[in-house]
Each structure stands twice: as structure tokens, then as C-alpha cells.
Amino acid sequence: MAFGVALAVCTAVTIVSQPSDGVAAEYRLEQSVGTRISFTDNVDLDPDGEKDPGVVNTLSYGTEFSATGRRLTLSLSSDLGVESENASGLSFEQDVRAFASAEIFEDFLFLDANASSNQAVIDSASPVSGSRGADEDDTASVHILEVVPYVRQRFGRWADAELRARHTETLVTGEDDDDDTSDERDMQQTLTVTSGNALNRLGLELELDRQKTVLLDRDDPGNELEERLGSLTTNYAFSRFFTGIVRFGYVDVDLDGTRDLDGPLWDVGFQLNGTRGSLLLTYGRRYDDDRIEAQLNYAVTPRWRVFGSLDRTLDTSLSSAARERRGDPLDPTIGLDPSEFGQDLDEGASLVYSGRLGIAGDYGRDTFGITSTYTDREFEARTETTVTLNANWSRELSRDLSSSLSLEASDVDSDDDDSEQTLAGTARISYNIAENARVFTGFSRTQRFTETASDEYTENVIFFGGRLGF
């Protein structure tokens, strides 16, 4: 952590000391405070025969800040909350994300930085309320600091080069049992050389990458993962709409265990580009197994679009969490379909097949979205598969009155545990009593099904509250 903090401080001093060149930064600050009262018939998410009702009070404070200058961009999104159950005991929740991007030396040296802190579910089998999230005993605070210095160099019309170093520190605190999780350090260095427009339709890309992940609180086998990769990608534009892709290279993996993941890699595929969107699809082999990669973003009509992705990676749960919380938190495409249902925070390295497919529509007073995700994590001794489906719809009933409906379903299947299915739904009505003030009320229901009766539960919640912006 000290390395990341020191580098961030040095960079900040460098940026501040640079002249502004007479260009003033643009600032935006929005703040809000809110309160919410929830009446639940199962405050502890116990089985049906053991559940007790309760009242949950929540006070929250939110902030959105952005600053944009000629060579520096900053953004911050935070949501802080204090919660009490039955007017006794306090628990604190936070979801804070910050992002900075700076151009240190013009057209040469750059730096990106990310920082975040949030509450995350420790175990995918933990009981979760579709309205209130998980119980404090089943969550931990995940703090992430990441710095990414990189340099760029152009060699005329022939090539562009980029050398990038990423250092990520992930700290997990607040869990009841320290053995459940471990802190993590990720270090990655990447050199990318891309051909320029001198080759006309032909494009070449050389990539050399090294990534090392260390689970800091573990001494058992599998606490370190190191991956070294070299590849050459050839792209040929047969037309302005169709590009062929061929990639080949080699990947070397150091991972304690019985699996041998070293070997050649190759991919063959294409990319379609048009005025409405794009589609990337490749097939090949990596980690001694088949691999399919896909990226889809297509506007079917001006009012609705379809999007999707599919990839296979070698990852850990914490490095995956760091990647998901990377980037500008105020970008509306980040966190498009947030889910309360998480995966185990600390399960070591695994081969991950992850996919997403969804549609989003905007019809003026009505907006909707449907997203499905698929995650298959292959650990050394077991496999866990998670499938989720999110659907949401909102409608403006009048200038001040709006309604929304969200549904979520998840299915978790593991080799060493019972499969479980969770369904959650929330209906909500909001009313703007002033330009910057609104009140809301709603109802939610959550139900979990599993082969073990003691792990099943049902919860019904009626809630109301308000929020004031300034």
C-alpha cells in the first residue's frame, strides 16, 4: 500500500505544481441527504418458522464531484449510510469511488488512479435482502487503491507504442473471521506496439504482458499467481465494415497446484463495424482450453439497443472486484446492472468464463432494461456457476410522479455445496415535492430456495423515505 500512496502523492504534487496555462478547470458538486424507514417481517433473514419482524432506519449522505481541466480530470461518487435495527445498535455502510486521470508531460507521460471502498458480501451463500442488502455479519469492507502510470510514443505513420504499469492494493476489513478473506496485491506491466496507418488496411499489434497476484495473508499453496504473455495480432480490413482477426502467441503461468496452464495461444475471428454498433467475435485456445471472446453493442432502433460480452480469464475474486470498480464512477455505462448478490470474496485463483447479454430501451416516459449474466469459476478443487437475471422498468406518470419495478433472480451451483436460487422484486413510487426534494414508498419481497431447509428464507418489506439535494 505504501508504494501506491507514495506514487499518488508524488504525482499529485507534480500536477499541482504545473502551470494552468490560463485554462480554468470546470467543477461540479452535487450533494444529497436522505432517510429511509423499512418495516420487515424477517429482520434477520431466518427460516420461515423462526423469523422476527423489525424496523430498520437508515440515514445517508451522497456526493458527486467532478473537475475537468486541460490536463487533469477528477471525479468522485460517494454514498455513506448509518443504519439501525429496532432502534438499537448502529452499522455503517459506504460506497465510495474516486478516479483521476492526468497528463503529466504532454503527449508522453500519463497517470490514472482509482480508489474505492464499499461493503461486499463475503460468501455467495450468505442471506441477502433484495431491499436492504446483506446483514453486517455477512459483509466486509473492501478498500482498493490503484495507480497506473504509462507512457506513449508515436513513431510517425509507422507505429504507436504504450508502456503501462498497474499497481493495485486491495485491503479487506470488518469481517468477523479474518480467515475468511485475505488482502491482495496485483502488479501488471504491459507493452503494446500498434502499427500506424502506413500499412493501409493491414494492422499489427504486439503485446507483452506480465501480471503477478499475491494473496498477502496466505501461506498455503496457491497464494501467488504469475502470468507472462506474448502475442502478435494481425487485423485486415476487407472493407470498412468487416475486419478479419488472427492472433497467436504463448502464455506461461506460475500457479501452485496440479493444473498446467502453460502453452500456445491463438484466436481467429472478425469484427463488424457499422453506424449502429459493432460486433467482435473470436475463437481460439488459451490456458490449454478452448476460448471464445465476444463484444456486442448494437442500436436495433434509435430507442433501444442490445449489448453483450463473453470472455475467459485467469483471475481471483478480489482482482475481479477491482476491475469492476475501475474507471470513472460518473460514467453512466459503469455499474449498468448492479446486483446485491455477490460471489465469494476469497477463493484464490480460478479460470473464469464470464458472459453478459442485455437490452436497454428508452421510450420517453418509459425506460427498461433486461440483463443476464453467466459466471463459471473453475478452482483447483471445485467449480462454481452463477447465473443472474435483472429486469427493470420505470415510468414517468406525470412531471413529478414516477414509478419503477425491478426484478432479480440468481442461481448458484457449486460442486461442494447445495445449489440455491434467490428471487427478489421491488416496486417503488417517487414524488418530487420540490425541484431538489422527493419522497418515495414501495414494497419488496425476497425468497431463497435451497435443498437445506435451514438456509431458506422469505422476507417482505414496506419502506418509505425521502431525499433532499443541494
Encode pLDDT of 54-106 as tens digits: 999 999 999 999 999 889 999 999 999 998 888 787 888 899 999 999 999 99
* Angle subtended at Cα 167 by Cα 164 and Cα 171, rounded to the nearest 5 degrees: 160
Amino acid 330: pLDDT: 82
SS3 202: strand
Q: What is the pLDDT averaged over residues 140-161?
A: 94
Encode pLDDT of 339-393 as tens digits: 444 556 656 788 889 999 999 999 989 999 999 999 998 887 788 899 999 999 9
Q: Are strands 304-316 and 289-299 parallel, antiparallel or unpaired?
A: antiparallel
* Mean pLDDT over the full length of the chain: 86
DSSP 1-60: -HHHHHHHHHHHHHHHHS--TTPPPEEEEEEEEEEEEEEES-TT---GGG---EEEEEEE
Its CATH class, for the domain covering 2-17+25-469, is: mainly beta
Check pLDDT > 50 for residue 42: yes
Place of cell 470498412: 240
Contacts of 186 (CB under 8 A, 6+ apart): 166, 167, 168, 170, 211, 212, 213, 214, 319, 322
Contacts of 262 (CB under 8 A, 6+ apart): 251, 252, 253, 288
Encode pLDDT of 106-122 as tens digits: 999 999 999 999 888 77
Question: Which band of pLDDT confidence, cut at 50, 70 and 90, is reported for residue 16?
Answer: very low
Amino acid at position 429, single letter: I
Encode pLDDT of 265-324 as tens digits: 999 999 999 999 999 999 999 998 899 999 999 999 999 999 999 999 988 878 888 888
